[in-house]
Homo-oligomer: A and B are copies of this chain.
Amino acid sequence: MRNTQVILSSRPVGVPGAEHFSLREVPVGTPGEGQVLVRLTHWSVDPAMRGWANDVPNYSPPVAIGDPMRAFAVGDVIASRHPDYAEGDVVEGLLGWQTHVVVDAAAIARKVTETDLPRSYALGILGLNGTTAFFGLTESCAARSGDTVVVSTAAGAVGSAVGQIAKILGCRTVGIAGGAEKVRQCREEFGYDAAIDYRGEDVAAALARHCPKGVDCYFDNTCGPISDAVMTRLAQGARITICGTAAITEWDPLPIGPRVHRQLLVARARMQGFLIFDYRDRLGEARAALAGWLRAGRIAVREHVLEGPEAAPGAIAMLYRGENTGKLIVAV
């Protein structure tokens, strides 16, 4: 039995491309006392992986050259020497881009219990993406019924969940996405009250039209020109959550943009960085709510599934080019 790994083979600056990874086959290990062997079936592709691959100060240490790429993954326990796990359990965690892994039980994030829902949901709507959307919107943005909520990367894995949760909470939702197809998805699949195509429209003018009372909550995954436009439309007391920085390709030196200070001051608004890891003790709360809405058909999910390990190396760059049409997953 061989373990196919996608390893980080050179250090990228900015968005890692296919050339920064290579495939390797190694023997599958044997679980020791307290360990389990997992056969992974689905790998996640997330924006945060750019940061993990870069050697810059970040909220987690960079992946070492020669190591399997750090990634969320889900799979089946095929051997266990830990009493909490048995063969056949489905588990999820930061288990890496590899087909097999032997880990201490503590390295498993959780046993996937929503077995009536597609297993890949554990990596998206019931994983990093959905829980990020849930707490980013309800806690960091403190969205309340009646608020106007603007979402960038609105058709993305996180954004589409934010828009749909906001709608469930009674908010007016305005999505910003790139291209006619994503705008269509926002309106028809994700239920946004309005959607703006940043490639084809003046975002500030469209926001003025769609947010007549201003923007109460802005859930941002871009941090570039789209955000600059939203900042001109803040309602008093607005809450801006910075969840991702997709519009920024390089962080060193810091990119330059309009200073936000005065806009925050005049609106008495707050802009706040959000990282789901700070909510690690409350993830079950978000998952329970999300699973309930999924079962009730109140949240739609789109997935974009790539086939096989050889599809993984180019996947992060694909995500940053916005070419995926749903939560990006590699099925292995």
Contacts and interface: CB of A to CB of B under 8 A. Distances in A.
Interface of A: 57-59, 220, 223, 227, 242-245, 248, 251, 253-275, 278
Contacts of A58: 266
Nearest to A264: B273
Copies of chain A in the complex:
2
A52 B254 CA distance: 33
A258 B254 contact: yes
Contacts of A244: 265
A270 B272 contact: yes
B264 A259 contact: no
Given A244-B265, A256-B258, A268-B272, 14 more contacts: A58-B266, A242-B261, A242-B264, A245-B262, A251-B262, A254-B262, A256-B259, A257-B257, A263-B273, A264-B272, A264-B273, A269-B272, A270-B273, A271-B272
A264 B274 CA distance: 8
Nearest to A272: B270
A264 B278 CA distance: 14
B257 A259 contact: yes
Nearest to A265: B273
A275 B265 contact: yes
A256 B257 contact: yes
A260 B261 CA distance: 10
Contacts of A266: 57-59, 273
Contacts of A262: 223, 245, 248, 251, 254
A261 B57 contact: no
Given A259-B256, A260-B260, A262-B223, A278 B270 contact: no
B268 A278 contact: yes
A258 B258 contact: no
A258 B261 contact: no
Contacts of A242: 261, 264-265
A262 B271 CA distance: 11
Name, among A244, A258, A260, A265, the residue most crowded by chain B CB atoms within 10 Å (CB to CB). A265
